[in-house]
Structure formats: structure tokens, C-alpha cells
Structure 1
Amino acid sequence: MGVVPVTEALRRLSEDPGFWALLRAETGAAEDPEPAELRVSLPVTGGYGLVLDLDLVTGEQTLGLREPATSEPVQLGWAAPGRPWPAALRWHELELCARVIALEDPTLPHPGLVVALLGPFAPVTAEDDGTTVAAVREAAYRSLRRDVPPPAPTGPEQTPLPLFADADWWPRPPAPSPQVLDEAAIAAYTLPAPAHLQVRGGARFPHEGLSELVRRAAGRLSRLPEEQWYAGVRPLARNMADTGDLRPVGTLLGKLTEAGCDHPTVLDALSEPLVPLEACWMVETLAGVAPGTLVRHHV
């Protein structure tokens, strides 16, 4: 399954705070949305992927599993305003898929759009580190960005008298923020849902297909440290993961570059301006350690 870039419709919607308010709303839906329906296809690996169908009129969301040689996804969970979210995914399954998606598609870095969209389908359980999960979810919402125009020039139309030439007389308007969601929205969306609907016990739930997706995704990540450019940096990455120290990330990036690494996802995750949780998962992957080994030091 090849790289499928973020569609123009999804890009435009993801830059609209109202879109996220609709997806997380308890009641109601948008009036005359454009488009009225949207399918988000997220290829993972080996012909397997996740599919999110959004009805922007009713607010309904359907998460599905795409398997090889199938025309339509098999439903994992269905959500609607005012109803409990279906616990369709385990948190580790979602994050594993999000990491592989980021490796295959540089336009979908992690934590980012994938976790922001699918996070409500993967509730925190007693087996999860709630603090780490909340930090990853927060980072995903915080990563949502939009292009903003430069502020309009300010100042007098003509040269002012010396007494009024000081910049204090001509204050610049505040620059618009490129961050899509404000702090209040990020905090609200990061909170765990009060209740979830258990759907994995149903006879129609695709246990075998989902297990195969998870197995293949884990295999994809585990093979990365053994590939051409990465074997030489594994000891450094392992030391960073064991100590929790991200300071050598510049050295790690330099070694990868010298080795000829040109993978945009790998290089972007380790480049300035550094996003700590993005760098953490990449170091964990290069080190071949369990997800969360380094992340928990930075939340």
C-alpha cells in the first residue's frame, strides 16, 4: 500500500477549530458542511490500514480496518454525538500504527493528525501509563498547524514628528497564531472520555485482522534499526533511551546524515526545532526498545 498524502479536504478541515469541535461535540452537528462526508484512509503496512469515515452532517464517525484484497473496511467501532465512544483500539495498537504511518508518510508525523483523529477510539486502561498517554494526545493536538498571513504593516502613512516617532506610538497588532487549537480546547480534548462502549467482545469484531495488522506494524518498526543507515547509530540511540537523555540528539542526527540517511520522517523527527515526543519515539525505534521507554522521561 503506497503513501497516500493528506487530502486537500482533510487538510483544510484539520486547520479549522470548528472541525475539531464538531468531532468532539456531545450534541449537534454542522450546518451545510462542505464536504458533507469524508473518508480518511490511513495505510499502515502490508496492505492493512485504518479507515475513518466522517459524516459531518450528523457528527457520526466510523472506524474501520482495511485488509488486503478487500474493497471496503470492516467496522471496528461507530461513534455518534451523545453516545459513549467505542473502545475499538488499545492505546498501544493506535500508537504503534501511528508510528508506522509516520514512517511511511512524512506528511503525517507522530504525535500528530492520526492520534488527534483516532485517539478517542483508544481509551486509557489500567495497563496504560495515563500520564504518558495524555502527553502524547496533548502533543498531537498541539501539533496541528495552519499557515497564517504575515501581520499587516503598521505605522503612520507619513513621517511623524520626532515626538511621535517612537514605536510605542505605533504598536504592532498581535500576530495570529499558527496553532489551530487554543489551550482551552487542547486541555478539553486531552481529557479521557467519561465512558466507553466495549465493542471488542462482539462476534463481528475483526480480531484476527486487527491482530495481524498489529503484528505486521510491530515487525516494521523492529526491522528499522537493522536497515542500512541505522545499525551504526543503534548503540547511541540505546544509550539515550536507557538514560532518558535527549541532548545527544544532534550527534545522532549527524551520524545518520554522514551515513547517507535521507529518510524525511527520521531526519525531521531529530531536527530543530525539536519536538521532544517526536524525537523520543524515533530514538526508541532506532534503539529497538519498547515504545514509551524514553517518552516517559519527558512527560
Structure 2
Amino acid sequence: MPLDDALAARMAEPDFWPVYLFDDDAPDVYDEDVDDQESHVARFPLGGGFALVLDLTLGLEYVGLALAAPGIPEPVTVGWDDQAHFHPHVMPWPELDLLCRVVALHDPELRHPGPMLALLCRFAFLAEGDDLDRVSPLVDAAFEVMRPGDGEGGLRAETRDWFDLRDLRGTGVVWTSRTDGHRAVDQHGDDGLPLYSLRAPDSEDFPFAAWSALLAHARERLDAAIGDRTLRAPAVLQALDRCTAPDGYEHLAALADALSDAGYTHPVLMRAVAQPSDRAEACWAVEALSGLPQGKLVPRWFGPSPLSASRSWRLSLTLPVVGRPWRFGQQVAGELSTDLQEAGLGDAEVGGSMSRPEGGGYVHVEDHLNLLIRDDLALGVTIIARTLHSYRAAETATLRHAGKGGEVIPLRQTT
């Protein structure tokens, strides 16, 4: 059983994904008895002693990822996500996609896209050169499998939220080779989202050698699955050629027949072609069988990603609160978040506060709000200004672009 019965059943409950994804409107599942906190472990095996191990404690809003590998007595943490000191930037998108493919080949119950991608995409990020046309259809498909009918067609909300949180393109992220030859990630910039990763060049905590061995093993397993000589049969090559065209998904039945007639028997890839759970599952299978580079076929079958032309801005709002009602900052943040979400433009949350000593105690001076604006910065700022003016707070509040030396944005009154 790839996922134990308790976790599989829990994932089917309506509140699981909002809690797991740290949604703002998720129900509180915290248990005051720390020993009784709800926790689960999911193991994703790749064969050869390699596995990724997910450890989640829902009430504490903690999700950890570890690597099990030959020669390592216990799984080693490679990243974690929480609401405090997170380090979720473990791997670039192509590595996660590769690992999901190989886990699916190893365990037929863990189809790709499916539970592994939905659970682990929080540990993958986008960097320079990543093509969203190759990414968003698979993330959409994974959540459609896990939360069927929860979307309204097109781009799913989970995919957009993941993109907002893990898009590090344009932030100075670079991949380098350490002196030992293993890949490490660094960030040479302070605009946009910061990089939080154990995979830094000088890190002593990331298992670089074991991770490199994991990726090499995964590539070998995938190559072995598509190295069968029957794939070179003329009828199979012709069927694959038709299936790698933009309308190729319309020819899957003919490909399945050609593979069967040629004697190709890999159960996972045959099922992905003949009985896919989603077009995206057939897509990566055809891509692998035809020898196309990873992700090459996805844009042909799905077209441009709705996120391709998308932009987002991270803003910081300093809100003085002296003389204001208790929890004034939370009230403003809640209203801003509601207004931005209803307009499809983003959200807001309190990210910190400042107090000063006074009269033997401390006085709450200001709150700091973090805001996300999607696609239309001008309209987002208009909504922020309108809300702040309604509270008579625009005159003293300061809105700026996040990051060091962020430019101040005027909060003009609108009619």
C-alpha cells in the first residue's frame, strides 16, 4: 500500500487539502495535547533503496520531506514547510516531475499526476528557464485527481496558489556546481520572493551526494522502461509520430494497439496510454515512449499555460495602530484580503508588528501587512487605497514594493 489507509482516507475528507496547503480559511485542527496531534507519514519509493518520505503534522502546520537512500541509516531531511522558519525550496520543477514519473513506474498505485505531485509540489519551485507551459497542466491534473470537481475548469486555484508561492524567476536564483560536482542553488538578488533552501552551496545539512544518486537512479529507471526494442517497431514508431502532434491525444487508441501488437508489456506505461486517468498522464507516457525531452509534449497537447502572461507583485504595508482598536491590523488585513480575493487579484495578511517600551510596559505601534497582487497592480493598489481611506488610515500608512529599498506606492483617494 503506497499510502497507508489512514492517510488515504484523510486525504479524501473535505478539510484535508485546505489544512495541508495552509489555506487562510482552513479549519483549526490543533490539539492542545501535543502528544495527540494528528500526524501522517507517506513514503514514495523509487526502488533500489531510494524513497522520498513525507512527514506531516496537520495541527502544527508542519510538513517535512526527507530522503531515504542506500548507505543512509535514517531518512535525511531535505526541506520543510511551516508557518515560521520554512525551508521548502528543495528541487526545481523538472526534478519533481522526473521523480513522480519514476515512482509511478515503480508503484502502479501512485499514478502521475496524482497524490505524489499534489503533496510534494510545495517542495518544488520555478527558476530561470522553467516553462510554465510544461508545468501548469500537470499540477492542474494532480489536484483534479485528488479533489475532483473542486475546480471550475481551466486553471485550478491550487495551481495558481502554488505559482504565487514558488515562482522564483527573476529573483536572482542561480544553479551552481559545488567543488564536489553536486548541484546547489543560490540567490543573488533581493527582489521578489526570497530563497529558503538547505541546498545552498555551503550547506552541511543537505545530502548532496545521496540526492545526486537519487536523480541518477531515477533517470536509469526511466531509461530502462523505454529501452525495450519493441518500441522501434515500424508500426509503433508511426503511432508515436501521430501521438506527438498537437492533436496526438486523439490517436492514443491506435498507439495502444500498436504497442500491444509489438509485444510491449510495461504495465504502467501501457495503462497510461490505453486508460489514462487524465490527458496529462498519457502525455508524459507518450513523451517518454517517443524519447522526447522531458516536458516537450505538454505544450503541444495543452497549449499556452494561463499563467504564461501572468505577473504578481509582493507589497509591504506599514500600518500605524496607536490609538486604534485592538486587532486593528488584523481587521484591515482581513477586509483587504476579502476585497482582493473577490476581485481575483490576490490577498493580504499580517506579517509582523512593532512595539515600543512605554510606562514600564510596551505599546503596540504598528503592524506590517504582506500583500500579493496578481496581474493588475493598478487595480490592486486602488482597492488597497480605498480600504485604507475608509478607515482614515491612508494618510499615515506606507505601501511599498517588498524587498530592500522597495519603492513607495502612493495611496491616492479614488472616487
TM-score, normalised with respect to structure 1: 0.78
Matched residue, 1:111: 113
Give the aligned residue type for 2:72: T
Task: Spell out the pairing of 1:89-168 with structure 2 (5 A cutoff).
Answer: 89-144=91-146
Partners of 1:264 and 1:16 in 2: CA distance: 30
When residues 66 and 273 of structure 1 are mapped into structure 2, their CA distance, relative to the original with a 3 A threshold, is closer
1:253 paired to 2:222: no
Counterpart secondary structure, 1:199? coil
Partners of 1:72 and 1:234 in 2: CA distance: 44
Matched residue, 2:165: 193
**Do 2:112 and 2:142's aligned partners in 1 also have CA atoms closer than 8 Å?**
yes
TM-score, normalised with respect to structure 2: 0.58
Matched residue, 2:207: 206
Partners of 1:128 and 1:15 in 2: CA distance: 32
Counterpart secondary structure, 1:297? helix
Matched residue, 1:7: 4
Matched residue, 2:300: 297
Matched residue, 2:309: none
Partners of 1:20 and 1:134 in 2: CA distance: 18
Counterpart secondary structure, 1:39? strand
Q: 1:76 aligns with which of 75, 78, 98?
A: 78
Matched residue, 1:31: 30
Instruction: Give, in angstroms, the shift of residue 243 of structure 1.
Output: 3.0
Q: 1:282 aligns with which of 273, 280, 285?
A: 285
Instruction: Give, in angstroms, the shift of residue 273 of structure 1.
Output: 6.2
**Do 1:87 and 1:123's aligned partners in 2 also have CA atoms closer than 8 Å?**
yes
When residues 31 and 180 of structure 1 are mapped into structure 2, their CA distance, relative to the original with a 3 A threshold, is farther
Partners of 1:55 and 1:17 in 2: CA distance: 17
Partners of 2:67 and 2:6 in 1: CA distance: 22
Counterpart secondary structure, 1:86? coil
CA-to-partner distance for each residue in 1:110-136, whole Å, 9 max, x for gaps? 111111000011011112112321221
Instruction: Give, in angstroms, the shift of residue 139 of structure 1.
Output: 1.1
Partners of 2:276 and 2:113 in 1: CA distance: 15
When residues 199 and 259 of structure 1 are mapped into structure 2, their CA distance, relative to the original with a 3 A threshold, is same
CA-to-partner distance for each residue in 1:242-284, whole Å, 9 max, x for gaps? 5342332111101222344444322321125662211110011
Matched residue, 1:158: none
Instruction: Give, in angstroms, the shift of residue 294 of structure 1.
Output: 0.9
Matched residue, 1:181: 150
Greater gyration radius: 2
When residues 234 and 247 of structure 1 are mapped into structure 2, their CA distance, relative to the original with a 3 A threshold, is same
Partners of 2:276 and 2:205 in 1: CA distance: 45
Counterpart secondary structure, 1:30? coil
Partners of 2:65 and 2:238 in 1: CA distance: 39
**Do 1:234 and 1:286's aligned partners in 2 also have CA atoms closer than 8 Å?**
no
**Do 1:108 and 1:114's aligned partners in 2 also have CA atoms closer than 8 Å?**
yes
Partners of 2:222 and 2:243 in 1: CA distance: 16
**Do 1:111 and 1:278's aligned partners in 2 also have CA atoms closer than 8 Å?**
yes
Q: Which runs of 5+ in 1 are unaligned?
A: 146-178
Give the aligned residue type for 2:224: R
Give the aligned residue type for 2:11: S
Counterpart secondary structure, 2:274? coil
Counterpart secondary structure, 1:247? helix
Counterpart secondary structure, 2:249? coil
Answer 1 or 2: higher relative contact order, Cα 8 Å, separation at least 6: 1
**Do 1:225 and 1:234's aligned partners in 2 also have CA atoms closer than 8 Å?**
no
Question: Sequence identity of aligned pairs in percent?
Answer: 30
Q: What number of residue pairs does the alignment pair up?
A: 263
CA-to-partner distance for each residue in 1:141-192, whole Å, 9 max, x for gaps? 01115xxxxxxxxxxxxxxxxxxxxxxxxxxxxxxxxx26344654554433
Matched residue, 1:175: none
Task: Out of 4-13 and 180-189, give the one that drifted further.
Answer: 180-189
Partners of 2:219 and 2:269 in 1: CA distance: 17
**Do 1:42 and 1:101's aligned partners in 2 also have CA atoms closer than 8 Å?**
yes
Matched residue, 1:267: 270
When residues 68 and 274 of structure 1 are mapped into structure 2, their CA distance, relative to the original with a 3 A threshold, is closer
Task: Out of 14-23 and 193-202, give the one that drifted further.
Answer: 193-202
Partners of 2:109 and 2:272 in 1: CA distance: 12
Instruction: Give, in angstroms, the shift of residue 96 of structure 1.
Output: 0.3
Matched residue, 2:19: 22
